[in-house]
Structure formats: C-alpha cells, structure tokens
Chain A
Amino acid sequence: MVGEEIVTSGSTSCQGCGHAILARLAFKAFGRKTIFTLVPGCIWITLSRNIPLFSTGTVFEGGGALVSGITNGLAARGIEDMNVVAFYGDGGTADIGLQGLSGAAERNENVFWICADNQAYMNTGGQRSGATPKYAQTTTTPASYIRRGKRTKRKNLPFIVAAHDVAYVGTASIAYPSDLVGKIEYAKGLKGFKFLHVQSPCPTGWGFSPSDTIKVARLTVQSGIWPLFEITEGNDFRLTYKPRELKPVGEALGLQRRFRHLTDGESQEIQSRVNGQWKQLLEIDGKRLPY
C-alpha cells in the first residue's frame, strides 16, 4: 500500500482489532496534513496516542459539531488544504452522534467522516447500538428463551447520510484495502461532506479469534452482508465489488460467537434478507438514486 505509515505500533487495542487496521490504512491515505478528531470510544481510548497528527476530542454527542467548528475555524484563517477527519465509532456516528452528523451533512461541511463500525458500544463493554444487526447478541441484547438477541435491524447509515445530498458516501472493508484507500484518496479531494462507513470487526465483542479479523471481514463482503459501494455527486450509486455469486451468510456468521444461538430459521431469515437487499443493490447499480 502506498503512502507514509503514520500510525505507530504498540497501541493498547485488543489483538486483531479492526479499528487499528482501519486506522493504519486510512491515515496512510490522508497523509500528514490532517487533523483527526475523537469522541469517546475504543479509538480514543486505545488508538489515539498512536496517531501522531493534529487532533482533539469532544463529548460523545458532539462529533459533528466539532469537525464543523474546526473546518470553519481553519477557513476563517484562510487554511483550506488540511483534511479534517472525524474518526468515530458507530455510537458516535449513528446513535448519540446522529443529530450532529445530520447537521454537518446538511450544511455540507468540508470534512471527512469515517465511521469505524464494530456494531456495538465496545468501549463500554459491548452493549447494543443502532448499528447492531438483528439477532446479534450483545451485553444488553442477550439471547435466551424469550429474547433472541437484538430485535430489530440495524440502521441503514450510508443511505441516511446519502439522503442529505453530500459530496461523497461510501462503504468499505478492511479486507479490501485498495478499495478502501482508493475511496479515501478520491474523496478527500472533494469539497464538502465525505462519509465512509467502514466495517470494523471486533474480536472481543463479536467473539472470534483475533487471527480471523480479516477473514470475518472478507466473508461478510463476499456474502453480501457488507456490500461495498459508493454514492458520488449526491446520488450516483455504484457497487465497487460485485462477486458473480454470493457466499452463504452462514460461513461469516458461524465464525462469530454473537450469532452462535441462531436457529436454522433465524439464519434463513438473515440469508433471505441479504439476498433481497443484494438484488435491490444490483438493480440500482450505476443508476441515479431518487433525491
């Protein structure tokens, strides 16, 4: 991978942490003229000290406003050539951070928001978030006789952001580094609000071996659970990875303890939803989404 290695070794994140892999890839692509910002979460606690760039943090709910203030403050000083990066978890993006995200997106602020999505509040011990998928076990959505893990689907975050008509929206996976880095390199040159939703497998929270992080990430992409696409010019939708045939979801789910309780019926439900969604994505591939 080209680009200067910015993230230093020796972070306190767990072995096999998806966030750590993402940070290495992402900041190679951003380079040194970058300010990154933090809100509470695993990135701040375990990784931020290993990213020697200009940085600051704020309250959990304040991520969108912080980057908005910074980019405007820089612009007021005549500085337009620095990347202002929000590097937040799914909680800081999709839940408590959603209002500020929406505000910043609607104003089309000149910032780059990376959501490192490990699908739960990992830093507080793995509670459910709005990004936790249906049936996944978390510490607040246990699976037992009556409850079967999380009861509802996860929020469709990239489409929520895309509905704001912003400069760039994309999804990415750490198992497809050139796709990920390519998206950052392309989008960082655009003026306006850029959003990249990156799946960040968490061995501790999802219950898989730390050596399987990339494998889990790859299987979720190959099975259509985590489709890779981008939306440019506000509504131009394009899949960036199109396997001829999807792998069954069971392979990816089977590696993760959070799905161990699934019945055949529940697995089947996930499979048919993924199939249905993939069909829809193929239909809109290369097309303009309605505003």
Chain B
Amino acid sequence: MGHKELMVGNKAVAYGAVLSRVQVTSAYPITPQTTIVEYLADFIASGRLDAKFIEVESEMSAQVSVQGASWAGARAFTATSGPGLLYMHHPMMGCRLPIVMAVVHRSNKSMQPDHTDLMAQRDTGWIHLYCENTQEVLDTMIMSYRIAENDRVYLPVALGLDGYILSYTAEPVEIPDQDLVDSFLPPFKGRSAPHPDMTIEEWRANMSRGAGGYGTQKAWIDHHENMMAAKEVIVEVDEEFGKVFGRSYGGLYEEYNCEGAEAVIVAMGTIASTARPTIDDLREEGKDVGLVKLKTFRPFPHDEFREMAKRYNAFGVIDRNISIGSGGVVFNELRSALYNVDDKPSVLGFHTGLSGEEVTPGMVRRIAEKTLEAARGPVEPLVEWV
C-alpha cells in the first residue's frame, strides 16, 4: 500500500509523471514551474524515470516537441507557467494529441498566481482541470492521462495549480504504489504512431479515427464533440480512481457541505481550500450556504449547473481572473448556462486573488454571506472586486 511523503506541489507533479511512466518530457524553466523541470531531470538522471528529456530552448519548442513525441506514440509531458503558457498558445491551438501539461498559474501582471494564464487558453480545445491541493495534483496527473488517452476523447489536458500557494508549499501526500497505477493506467497506444513495419494504408486507417477534416468546419465539430464526450469520461475516470485509490474529486465539480443549502459559492483551485472551513463555520452558524468546487473548466458543466439551479437560489462565482472589458470568465459562462432555466437563481460575481493577492477566510465569508442574501432578495452590486 502506498506511502506518505511531505512534498511541494511541483514535486507532486513530477511524481505524477514518474508514476504515469511518461516516456518523453520537454520543458523550459519559468518561475514558479521551474522546479518541476529540475525534479524531472533528477528523476531521469537517477534512473527513477525511464524517459527522454528534450532540453528545449523555449516553451514554444517544449509544446511542439511533446506533440511530436505523442504523435510518434510516446506518452509525453510538459509544464509551464504564465508567460511560457502564453508563448505556447499558437501550437496549443486546436491540438488533438493526448499530452498532459501542468500549468503552475502565474499572473501576467505579477509573478504570483491568478488564472488569467490558463483562461487565456480557454478556446484552444484543451481539457482544463484545476487542482486544490498537492494530493489532488498528484492524483490528477495520473487521471489526466487516462482521460486524455481515452478513445472517445483523445485530447490534451492542462492541469492547473496555483503558483507558490501549491507549487512551493509542502503538504503530506500519499504516493500510490506503482503496480496499482500500472493497473489503472495501461501503456499508451498512439493513434498516429508510425512503425517501420507498418504500411501507409494501415497507418492511415489507424489515424482516421482521430483528427481529420482539416480545411473544413467538420474539424471544429469533431473536436468539440470529443471535448463534450470528455465530460462522461472525466466522471468515469474519477469514480474508478476512487475505487482503486480511495480518493475522488467529483470529476467535473464537487458539492461541499451543500446539503439543504439555499445558496452556493463557486470556487476553483486553492480558493476552494480556503473556502471549506469558512463554509463549515457558516453552516454551524445556521447559514445555509455551501461550496461548489469547479474542477473541470473545459468541458464546462453547463447541464450540471442547470440541474443545481433547481436546488440553489443563488450562485456566488469567485473568479481569480478577468476577461478585460467583459468580466469574470466563469461568472459569464455560468450565467449564460442558466439563461433558459425556469425560476432563474441569482448569479453574483466576485473578482479576487488576482496577481496572487491573498484570499482570506474573511473575504470568503463576505462573499458567501452576500450570496446567501441574494438567495432571498435583490442585492447590489451584481459584480464586485473583493
């Protein structure tokens, strides 16, 4: 049975790569992702991870080279932060290879975290999974490959962890046994993988199950359909992970202490951790407000939120991001998801924690109390900076 170790988030990422038996890795250093690259280099140097490490000269090359490796049939991994992620935007766009990338969130207006980096990749066609603590980071690494490589999906996954707050903070983490991980995550069989003994016809037949339709609208339709199919797969993989390892995360989202709640706040990443004890306190005080932790941002759980709208009268959405000139990305998506439900709940928006500014339990309390008030009657303003 696994063992426990005290480790920082970045080490959990690297451990996740080791346990997933990544075959090719390629990454370029940037704060606060840097130590992932160093851990991986160490693991490879010491023989703990049997993988090729491509020492690239930039993030653009990191991204393209892991795509090349994945195309060639190897399980591939990369990691980056803020500016590096933005530099990868072009090759990320439309990618349909099952690579996994850790994004250690870094703002563009500070070196501290916010989610503007990964939110800027919203429309690239990647699955986006946000993590709350170090254990979840390690577990999500392993789950990500299962999701990405699933035949109904076959898409890249970006998993986000807040810089500093997770990347450089040590927490006890249970490391599962390799045997168990191997039984959960079989070796990768790439669709496009060439082989010297394979004819071009065989190879093309293999590939035709995947990304096609270049030059047509169908390429977008297919990509979108595979992304929507990922919703089911994410839930299945999370459930199976729970059965095998005894931990699960709700797949798309988790409702925490929501039993009988009138209102819920919606949080992502480490803000969800800050919110849990605050919600517990509020419930003890008899205030009926719960927490919805949004783990999967793409594909977005539209239908699931519509279901929730039958139970809760108000949603207070915390956005550690802003789409400048519009507003909170999650706030906007959630509101649009609820546009045509009957008895629409109120949806409030809260921007907080940008550029890594601290999000305190007091702030979460204020957000939760205002949301609860909105469940009972109109409140102003609809959106605010906390």
Contacts and interface: CB of A to CB of B under 8 A. Distances in A.
Contacts of A75: 52
Contacts of B54: 68-69, 72, 107
Interface in B48-80: 51-52, 54-58, 60-74, 76
Contacts of B195: 79
B6 interface: no
B91 to A, nearest CB: 5
Given A65-B61, A68-B68, A72-B65, A58 B91 contact: yes
Interface residues of A, number: 34
A81 B196 CA distance: 8
Interface stretch (A96-104, A211-219, A254-262): A96-104
Contacts of A61: 60, 90
Name which of B65, B70, B74 has the most chain A CB atoms within 10 A of its CB.
B65
B68 A69 contact: yes
A67 interface: yes
A53 interface: yes
Interface in A43-100: 52-54, 56, 58-59, 61-62, 64-77, 79, 81-82, 99-100
Contacts of B57: 99-100, 102-103, 106
Contact of B24 (A37, A69, A102): A69
A107 B55 contact: yes
Nearest to B200: A52
B60 A65 contact: yes
A73 B90 contact: no
Contacts of B72: 35, 69-74, 77
A66 B194 contact: no
A76 B74 contact: yes
B107 interface: no
Nearest to A39: B64
B293 to A, nearest CB: 35
A56 B70 CA distance: 12
B122 to A, nearest CB: 19
Name which of A73, A75, A100 has the most chain B CB atoms within 10 A of its CB.
A73
* Majority-rule SS of A interface residues: helix
A62 B196 contact: no
A52 B202 CA distance: 12
B10 interface: no
A202 to B, nearest CB: 24
Nearest to B65: A69
A75 B55 CA distance: 15
A76 B23 contact: yes
B225 to A, nearest CB: 22
A69 B23 contact: no
Interface string A142-170: 00000000000000000000000000000
A33 interface: yes
B345 to A, nearest CB: 43
B193 interface: yes
Contacts of B65: 65-66, 68-69, 72
Contact of A79 (B24, B56, B192, B196): B196
B26 interface: yes
Given A58-B68, A59-B90, A68-B54, A77 B193 contact: yes
A107 B52 CA distance: 12
B61 A103 contact: yes
Contacts of A106: 57
Contacts of A72: 24, 26, 52, 54, 65, 68-69, 72, 74
Contacts of A107: 54-55
Contacts of A79: 195-196
B200 A54 contact: yes
Contacts of B56: 65, 68, 103
B64 A58 contact: yes
Nearest to B50: A76
Name which of A72, A82, A106 has the most chain B CB atoms within 10 A of its CB.
A72
A100 B73 contact: no
A53 B196 CA distance: 11
Contacts of A70: 68-69, 71-72
Interface in A203-250: none
Interface in B140-179: none
Interface in A260-275: none
Contact of B64 (A52, A71, A74, A100): A100
B67 A58 contact: yes
A15 B337 CA distance: 55
Given A62-B91, A73-B76, A99 B23 contact: no
Contact of B61 (A53, A74, A76, A99): A99
Contact of A77 (B64, B74, B200, B203): B74
Name which of A53, A59, A102 has the most chain B CB atoms within 10 A of its CB.
A59
Given A56-B192, A81-B196, A73 B70 contact: yes
B270 to A, nearest CB: 32
B51 A59 contact: no
A150 to B, nearest CB: 28
B203 A65 contact: no
A65 B24 CA distance: 13
Interface string B282-314: 000000000000000000000000000000000
Nearest to A58: B64
B69 A99 contact: no
B23 A77 contact: yes
Contacts of A100: 57-58, 60-61, 64
A286 to B, nearest CB: 34
A99 B193 contact: no
A14 B197 CA distance: 34
Nearest to A75: B52
A69 B73 contact: no
5 contacts: A52-B200, A69-B67, A73-B73, A74-B72, A77-B72
Q: Which 6 A-B pairs give the minimum distances between C-beta atoms?
A: A69-B68, A73-B72, A73-B69, A69-B65, A65-B61, A65-B64
Given A59-B90, A73-B72, 14 more contacts: A58-B68, A59-B91, A62-B61, A65-B60, A65-B64, A68-B26, A69-B72, A70-B72, A72-B68, A73-B24, A76-B74, A77-B193, A82-B194, A99-B58
